[in-house]
Amino acid sequence: MDIENLIKDTFTAHEPDAPDSDQVLAATRQRLDRRRAVVSPPLAAAAGVVLLALAAVAVVALNRPAHDSQVATGTGQTSGPAALQAPAEAAIAELTMPYSLGWLPPGKADYVARRINVGGSAAQPDKPVYGGEYMLTVTSGPQVLLVDVQETRMVPVDQAAFKSGPGKPVTIGGRAGVESSHSGGPGGYELYLTHPEGGSLYINVAAQPGSTASAQQLIDAGRRVAENVAFPGKTTVTPAFGLGKLPDGLRMCTFDVEKNGPSGPRTGYSLGTCSTQPPIQVHIGEPGQVGGTEGQPVQGHATRYVDENGYHTLWILKAVHDAPIAVAGRGAQAELYAIADHLVLPH
């Protein structure tokens, strides 16, 4: 199997019998809840932000400008009368993760993949530090394992904090780390491994509540995941919709791709300068969330517009099949429409 597309290929191969999406999302949120209680102080605030943003389906971070080359815009036909030429449909651009997973426990996999803004460094508190995270649910018969792999660039291994008590030194793949001493507890197996660019890589393998796994199975799986992480990454994930040309001064700061949410695929982006708050959120919502007054059509879709004390939301109806897309923030109305007009929607 091509390790660079491991996650995507694993899910695609088993999509017809993927685990129940409601259970997957509930397990993901439970994992975030558990993490909030044990992360070290620099990450505590970020973990709270991640949890809230997941609920809005708009998390994560990619620190690069949104150049035109990032989105395939398509070209017109090259033959036939000019009056009959039609532009080719734009392609939804794949999103690249910062590192790749070369191995996963065998079974059916569902996932949330994202880039995370974990705050600023001590030396440059105003400059965002970015990391990536994979949260997977791997089902094999009655057993369900939760696999979490996250860059914690602000946490060196000597500051590692564990759910189940103190850790112990370990070397995996030639890199120093600290792993949990009690992997049979509720936190499962945990590892902080030295990151090649500073900080650490956090790996957690645990049994989903209601499922069981031996401590040794969790240890073996966690260590093998760690041994096969590859930097830099080439793994790509496919969002449900893409970004086109952004207004001047804006770029993509975060993305969150959930393959199989409760109502289908879920994707969210945050846009801005990537160093100042608040960002503009662009994410798939639920039809029941839509409110406001009728707005101007966007790409042939009806819209609704809401102004809540200066916080504006532009809803694009039935933008991703039957689901709406929200473009929301404190920017001007014209800015929200400019973003919406250039979104790359599925056809």
Q: Where are the alpha helices (DSSP H) in 170-214?
A: none
pTM for this entry: 0.71
Please report the DSSP string for 214-263 in residue order.
-HHHHHHHHHHHHHTEESS---EE--SSB--PPPTT-EEEEEEEEEEETT
Angle among Cα 156, 158, 161 to the nearest 5 degrees reads 90
Quote the tokens at residue 63: 């620190």
Mean pLDDT, the chain, integer? 76
Question: What are the pLDDT digits (tens) for 26-82?
Answer: 444 444 444 433 333 223 323 333 322 332 232 232 323 333 322 222 223 322 222
| Lookup: tokens for 143 | 């057993």
Q: Select the more confidently predicted residue: 19 or 310.
A: 310
Residue 308 three-state SS: strand
What tokens were used for 342?
């250039």
Look at the block and give the residue holding tokens 């956090």: 202
Query: Above pLDDT 70, what percent of the chain?
Result: 69
The token pair that represents 24 in the structure block: 């997957």
211 vs 29: CA distance, rounded Å: 17
The predicted pLDDT at position 82 comes to 29
Assign 3-state DSSP to the chain and report helix, strand, coil percentages, each to 5.
Answer: 25, 35, 40
Phi and psi at 43, nearest 5°, equal -100, -10
- Asked if 131 and 118 touch (Cβ cutoff 8 Å), the reply is yes
The H or E element containing residue 326 is: strand 323-329
Amino acid at 120: G
Residue keyed to tokens 């793994």 = 235
Phi, psi of 220 (to 5 degrees): -60, -45
Which band of pLDDT confidence, cut at 50, 70 and 90, is reported for residue 279? confident
pLDDT for 264 equals 66
Q: How far apart are CA 259 and CA 267, in angstroms?
A: 8
Q: Would you say residue 158 has pLDDT above 50?
A: yes
Q: Which residues of 215-240 are buried (b: 16+ CB within 10 A; e: fewer)?
A: eebbbebbbebbeebeeeeebbbbbb
Quick one: which H or E segment has residue 34?
Answer: helix 21-36
**Amino acid sitting at position 288:** G
